[in-house]
A and B are shown apart, each in its own frame.
Chain A
């Protein structure tokens, strides 16, 4: 960490104040080594690797805004008469929890912003977890040695949903009270122990007087603590195992190509943190979410049309809606349909999700460690299974809001239910088949380009009168003009400008930021420079840095590196 390299009074000792301070710190804590290892850590550079970070940053927003809210929220079901700012509810009897949420919205300066920010961040948290999970799934990033982290991730998703549901219930408004009532019915539906679970959770018959307090402690202490611990573990394992990467030039199973943590990756990640926080704040101010003052306090006799949970519970609700009225009654013992629709179906889905790495290992007998990702097209069965699961989920999800869809698009509600029932059974296999065909088609096209080259768009007429399209081979060809390149799992160029055969694309994300003529000139310079660069890359073409700089390795056990 020396900032000074000029020999001072004692050789190598820092002369600047910061340098001296850094040495003092390291004298006591001996952190220079671990810190350097951390700063030097290489992260691969791909946009899809930032999805998990979005989830992490929305969790940070949740922790901060949630802490702020606890100072004003009162988790009590004590009945009070409202006498606050919001006139249409004055004189109405409500729980202290609902009243304090109204006060946060109307009487605490900036309270509504923080409340809405918290709620939007919660929706974003679960949404980004799902998108992150899809990326992991479709690229095969869950394979050995990362099964543990996959399992932690699925647990995090389930916990995030429970955490969200508990938070959704806390304001004790008409919508959340109805949701809690449905939850109580789900508890009741469990065979044998259902009534015991129900009475244990609610401390008696619904709604009782303890449930809000219990959900509160779950929401602000127990689940967040578990989430925090699991997230830390998730990241620790990630750091320990190093990030996966897509196959490409110089990328092997034994290296990571990308940017060092400091400064590039750290700056980008911090930038993303600010963007996520900013987005949550902008949504929190500009788009109204969960207007509890319009919903009114919870009353078991009241309900509103379009009773839905937040989006991440929507598929559970959809399952409960489309499940047929099949109640098993044997000797006076009942298993109601809610049990299958709202508990069995999600249980099955998350169970299959959690166990998927194990299932795939057993079925493919692939027990090797993998650090290179797969393109979804190269694993058509997994990709198709994923598409099938996503389709089933989306059908359930649509069914969770089918009354609103029926109302807004002038459809029959009963027809929407039948769409859900039939669609849940019919659409996933169709999705499987379609995805499988698409994957195979893309795979074949890759092979074709490798074998025959890129279509140039140049049509040539042969002396015989036959017209052919000229193909640009990607590498050396055999006597028949067929390419000798093997498919390496990486993206195959399909256009001439991707191989430098045409002018490269003009840069600019929104609009061109460079002159075409200038690009042409640059291209010529680059072409000249390329040769020398290739020569220097030869040295490290093994993918490993040369071992020359490590003379002290002999005999001494290596430092734990990650």
Chain B
């Protein structure tokens, strides 16, 4: 990046440090931020609740029956109730493939132990789960569960399986240019330089990021759904993840200065345009010139 690794031959102790000339991120539109904040409000509460519940419950052992365990959460809703509701949902929609103890079922669905609420958020929010039928890759669909139900499912999985949790705060609070560099190094090979997605082997695909919200991108990096590699917090720090999200969302919102973006997929679309529009129009033109008045 900005300087070669020369200075890093003796690595700095413990610290991750970017060598970027950091600049304040370009101001994200206030409206979008407000929107995001509002939509995340109750989710964040539920996250806190889930986290607290997990901590408390680990302390006293798996005693879901103990009524005193949830005494700490009075104002934020009853996590036991959320977990209970989540169990209900899980038993109804997920247990067939992922098993009664989240252990997964050979040939149907993977184990959910250790995937954490991040995976649940990603899979259920993008409608990939519950699966309609087994195929090469779960397709993206409108979510089946409501926000509240997803929170309950997340609480249940988090409590029983553990794993990465969802972040809080502004998910775009990262350096734009650093995000771009990280995006090109870690993401562009599958999702294309502008996040438009691309083909993988044998009918699988890296989806387009066009519809992906901040949290969906974050949870995907954290959980590595399906064939996507996992980017743990020690590999890409939360700050770096936020930088990437900032870059992706900035690119998506950014107008094309040079006219129609024709899909932002590169030379194939350009070749199509020159043959269909360019050569087509000129053939039409010379044909018109050849006719007599």
Contacts and interface: CB of A to CB of B under 8 A. Distances in A.
Interface of A: 45-48, 50-51, 54, 81, 87-93, 105-106, 112, 116, 120, 123-124, 127-128, 131, 174-175, 268, 271-272, 275-276, 279, 283, 285-291, 294-296, 299, 301-311, 314, 401, 403-404, 406-407, 410-415, 509
B275 interface: yes
B77 interface: no
Interface stretch (B46-54, B102-110, B199-207, B216-224): B199-207
Contact of A92 (B177, B205, B286, B290): B177
Most buried by A among B188, B201, B267, B287: B267
A305 B282 contact: no
Contacts of A295: 193
A302 B184 CA distance: 6
26 contacts: A50-B286, A50-B289, A81-B2, A87-B177, A88-B180, A91-B21, A112-B257, A124-B274, A128-B282, A275-B285, A283-B274, A285-B258, A289-B270, A291-B258, A291-B264, A294-B194, A299-B184, A302-B188, A305-B189, A305-B190, A311-B267, A311-B275, A407-B205, A410-B205, A412-B203, A415-B203
Contacts of A307: 266
Interface in B254-280: 254, 256-262, 264-268, 270-271, 273-275, 277-279
Nearest to B188: A304
B191 A305 contact: yes
Interface of A is mostly: helix
A124 B21 CA distance: 41
A112 B257 CA distance: 8
B33 interface: no
Contact of B260 (A106, A287, A290, A302): A287
A100 B179 CA distance: 22
Contacts of B274: 120, 123-124, 127, 283, 311
B176 interface: yes
Given A123-B271, A272-B289, A306 B265 contact: yes
Interface of B: 1-3, 20-23, 26, 136, 176-181, 184-185, 188-194, 196-203, 205-206, 247, 250-251, 254, 256-262, 264-268, 270-271, 273-275, 277-279, 281-283, 285-291
A47 B287 CA distance: 5
A127 B250 CA distance: 35
Given A91-B178, A310-B270, A310-B271, 20 more contacts: A48-B286, A88-B250, A91-B23, A92-B1, A93-B2, A123-B274, A124-B278, A131-B283, A272-B286, A287-B260, A287-B270, A296-B184, A299-B185, A304-B193, A311-B267, A406-B203, A411-B203, A413-B200, A415-B202, A415-B203
Contacts of A287: 258-260, 262, 270, 273, 277
B205 to A, nearest CB: 6
Contact of A509 (B3, B26, B291): B291
Contacts of A304: 184, 188-189, 192-193, 266
Contacts of B176: 87-88, 90
A51 B91 CA distance: 69
Contacts of A406: 199, 203
A357 B191 CA distance: 47
Given A89-B180, A123-B274, A311-B271, A305 B289 contact: no
Contacts of A272: 285-286, 289
A495 B180 CA distance: 64
Contacts of B289: 47, 50, 268, 271-272
Contacts of A92: 1-2, 177, 180-181
Given A289-B270, A413-B199, A127 B188 contact: no
B259 A286 contact: yes
A89 B192 CA distance: 17
A296 B189 CA distance: 13
A128 B279 contact: yes
Given A92-B2, A289-B258, A304-B189, A47 B290 contact: yes
Contacts of B273: 283, 287
A47 B268 contact: no
A401 B270 CA distance: 12
A81 B22 CA distance: 13
Contacts of A314: 267-268, 271
